């Protein structure tokens, strides 16, 4: 009973954090309907989404003690320390990208602001460094709890994060128009693109 309950909460929280993040990534479109208060509302949605992501992470940890009764090995066929080493190898570049993106995006990471202008940092090379750094962290957790099932399940977050990035770009086009469209032609989506001579760039997740 507990394994299925934990998995049910994981699925529900995953769906909800996706929903609330998409809602948080649309302040410009929402402003057209309700006015400037849209940005504060989207900041609230972003907080809710972040809390739900933490819930999913807790579900990953609990899965170690409450795995589903599936025809899969409960653990990998190697010692836990090997999985921990793999987790570290994945975590180091992922956390670098995520934290570098957070630093360069500033308060926009959690609090969308209408007055935010386009600016640079790592965003002059890649449009979504935080996303590229975040979704591999699900594999980090999966290997830390030594779970083949969670390692497979984590692949489901790749299209989720892609969808979040596309939703965010849709709103950034409303906010910044041709400037953001031009920016998209000079930077990579998830992989580094060519550096442009104009250092003013709008950060994305």
The pLDDT assigned to 146 comes to 97
Q: What is the pLDDT of residue 116?
A: 66
Please write down the HEC assignment for all residues of 118-133: CCCHHHHCECCHHHHH
| Fold that domain 2-186 belongs to in CATH | 1.20.120
Round to whole Å and give the CA distance between 64 and 3: 10
Q: List, in order, residues 6 or more apart from 125 with CB less than 8 Å away.
A: 187, 188, 192, 193, 195
Domain ranges of the chain: 2-186
16 and 24 in contact (C-beta within 8 Å)?
A: no
* Secondary structure (DSSP) of 51-114: HHHHHHHHHHHHHTTS----SS-SS-SS-HHHHHHHHHHHHHHHHHHHHHHHHHHGGGGTS--T
Give pLDDT, residue 195.
53
110 contact partners, CB below 8 Å, separation of at least 6: 43, 46, 47, 50
Helix axes 80-105, 137-144, angle to 10 degrees: 150
| Confidence (pLDDT) at 205 | 52
How far apart, in whole angstroms, are the C-alpha atoms of residue 45 and residue 167?
14
Whose structure tokens read 């509302």? Answer: 41
* Closest to 69 (Cα-Cα) out of 156, 13, 11, 1: 1
Tokens matching residue 151: 């390692």
Over its length of 205 residues, how does the chain's per-residue pLDDT go in tens digits? 999 999 999 999 999 999 999 999 999 999 999 998 999 999 999 999 999 999 999 999 999 999 999 999 999 999 999 999 999 999 999 999 999 999 988 887 888 877 666 557 889 889 999 999 999 999 999 999 999 999 999 999 999 999 999 999 999 999 889 989 999 998 999 988 765 444 444 445 5
Rounded Cα distance, 113 and 51, in Å? 21
Q: Which pLDDT score is estimated for 34? A: 93
pLDDT at position 118 is 58
Single out the residue of 84, 67, 203 nearest to residue 141, CA to CA: 84
Can you give the pTM of this predicted structure? Answer: 0.89
- How far from chain centre, in Å, is Cα 37? 24
């Amino acid at each position: 009973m507990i394994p299925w309950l934990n998995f049910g909460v994981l699925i529900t929280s995953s769906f909800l954090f996706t929903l609330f993040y998409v809602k948080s990534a649309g302040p410009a479109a929402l402003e057209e309907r309700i006015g400037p208060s849209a940005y504060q509302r989207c900041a609230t949605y972003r907080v809710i989404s972040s809390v739900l992501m933490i819930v999913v992470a807790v579900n990953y940890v609990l899965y170690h003690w409450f795995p589903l009764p599936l025809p899969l090995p409960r653990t990998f066929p190697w010692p836990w320390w090997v999985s921990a080493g793999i987790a570290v190898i994945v975590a180091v570049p992922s956390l670098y990208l995520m934290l570098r993106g957070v630093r360069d995006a500033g308060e926009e990471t959690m609090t969308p602001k209408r007055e935010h202008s386009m600016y640079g940092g790592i965003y002059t090379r890649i449009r979504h460094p935080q996303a590229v750094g975040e979704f591999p962290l699900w594999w980090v957790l999966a290997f830390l709890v030594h779970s083949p099932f969670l390692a497979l399940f984590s692949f489901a977050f790749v299209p989720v994060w892609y969808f979040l990035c596309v939703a965010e770009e849709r709103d950034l086009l409303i906010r910044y128009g041709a400037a953001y469209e031009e920016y998209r032609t000079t930077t990579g989506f998830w992989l580094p693109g060519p550096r442009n001579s104009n250092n003013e760039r709008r950060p994305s997740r």
